[in-house]
Chains A and B, each alone.
Chain A
Amino acid sequence: MIVGKQKSIAEIREIVLPYKKLLVLGCGTCVKTCFAGGEDEVATLSSALRLSFKKDGRSIYIEELTVERQCEDEFIREAAVAISKNTAVLSLACGAGVQAIARRFANVPVLPGVNTTFIGVLEKQGLFTEECLGCGDCQLAVFGGVCPVSRCAKKLQNGPCGGSRNGKCEINPDTDCAWQQIITRLTALGQLDNLRKYNPPKDWRTSHAGGPRKLVREDHVI
C-alpha cells in the first residue's frame, strides 16, 4: 500500500486560505489504512480547520466526502457534484489521487493535504515500514524476499557494507541491516548459494531514473 502522513494544520491552513468553500476529499483505500486520509481523518481535519478559522474570526465552508479510491476514474466520478459546489478541493489521497482528481476537474484547484511517503506494509497496528521502491525489476527471488533496494540505505546489491553492526545499520541503530536479514533468511531457506552467483549491476532504467513510467496492457485496451 501507499503510506502517507497528513500535513500539519499550519501548512494546510496556508494552502486553503484563499478559498471560501472547500471540499475535503478522502480516499478509502491506502491512506485510510495509514490514518492519513480516510473518513475519520476527513472529519477530524475538517473540524480542526473550522475551529482554527473561527478562532481567527474567519469563516470557511467545508464539505466532507470520501470516495473508495481517488486513483480510479470510476470512483472519482462520485465526487463530481460535491466538487462543482466548492471553489477548491483538499485531497487527502496520495499524490497519484491528487493528480487524478486534478486531471478530471481541470477548472478547480486541487490541493494536497497529505505527504505521500512510501510503498510499505502495516507491520503492526500503528507501525508502517517501507518495503519497495518500485524499481521495475524485482529481484526478491534472489534476495530471499528481503529488498536491498528499498531497505538497504545504500541500495547495495552485494552487501553488507562495513557499517553493519549486530544486525543493525550504521545510519541508525533502530534500522535493521537489510543485508543481515537477507543472509539470515537465505541461510534458513538453504539458499545462501544465491549470493555466489553473479548478480549483474542493477539496470536503473526500469526505475524512475528512466523518467516517468507507463504501463500499457493491450489486452485490456479497447
Chain B
Amino acid sequence: MIKKYKPQITLFHCINAFDNCASLPVSTGGAFELKPVKMACSSMVKDVFLLRAFEAGADAVAVFVCPEGQCRYVEGNIRAKKRVNFVKNLLDEIGLSGRRLSLHNVECGDTENAVRILQQVLSDINDMGPSPAK
C-alpha cells in the first residue's frame, strides 16, 4: 500500500520566543505533521541539526527566534540567522532549495503570528512539493 504523503515541518524554537509550539492551532486544508524542537536559546541551532531534520524527512524546516535586540543571551538570534543563511546556501548547492528553510522573528507568545508563519511555510511546501531527499 502506498503511504499517503503528509507534509512534515520541523520547527526549531527558542523557549524564550515560544514556550510550546506543539499545540499551535494551525488550520489547513489537509493533514500535516509538526515536529517541534525546543532550544534553550536559538543560538543552539547548529548547521548539522538543520540538515539532519531534512535527513529525518522534513519537507521544510522553520526556526523561531526572538525579535532582534530582544535575545536573552544578547546575540543568539543573530547567530541563528547567520547559520540559517549558511545552511540555506548549502541546500541550494545540494539542489534541495534554500526556500525549504526559514527563520522568523516572533514576539514571545504571539500565537497569531506563529500560526500565520506556519501556514505560509505549508503553502510554500505545497508550491515546491515534497523534499526530493525524503
Contacts and interface: CB of A to CB of B under 8 A. Distances in A.
B48 A44 contact: yes
Contacts of B69: none
Interface in A2-52: 8-10, 40, 43-44, 47-48, 50-52
Interface residues of A, number: 13
Contacts of A205: none
Interface stretch (B17-25, B33-41, B89-97, B110-118): B89-97
Nearest to A54: B133
A51 B96 contact: yes
A51 B94 contact: yes
Contacts of B93: 8-10, 48
Interface of A is mostly: helix
Interface string A68-95: 0000000000000000000000000000
A52 B46 contact: no
A221 to B, nearest CB: 43
B133 A55 contact: yes
A50 B90 CA distance: 13
A66 to B, nearest CB: 13
A40 B52 CA distance: 13
B89 to A, nearest CB: 10
B47 A40 contact: yes
Nearest to B94: A52
Contacts of A52: 94-96, 133
B94 A40 contact: no
B46 A9 contact: no
B96 A55 contact: yes
A48 B51 CA distance: 7
30 contacts: A9-B90, A9-B93, A9-B94, A40-B46, A40-B47, A40-B48, A43-B48, A44-B47, A44-B48, A44-B51, A44-B90, A47-B48, A47-B52, A47-B55, A48-B93, A48-B94, A50-B55, A51-B54, A51-B55, A51-B94, A51-B96, A52-B94, A52-B95, A52-B96, A52-B133, A54-B55, A54-B133, A55-B95, A55-B132, A55-B133
Nearest first, the 9 closest Cβ-Cβ pairs linking A and B are: A47-B51, A43-B48, A52-B94, A55-B133, A54-B133, A44-B47, A51-B133, A55-B132, A9-B93
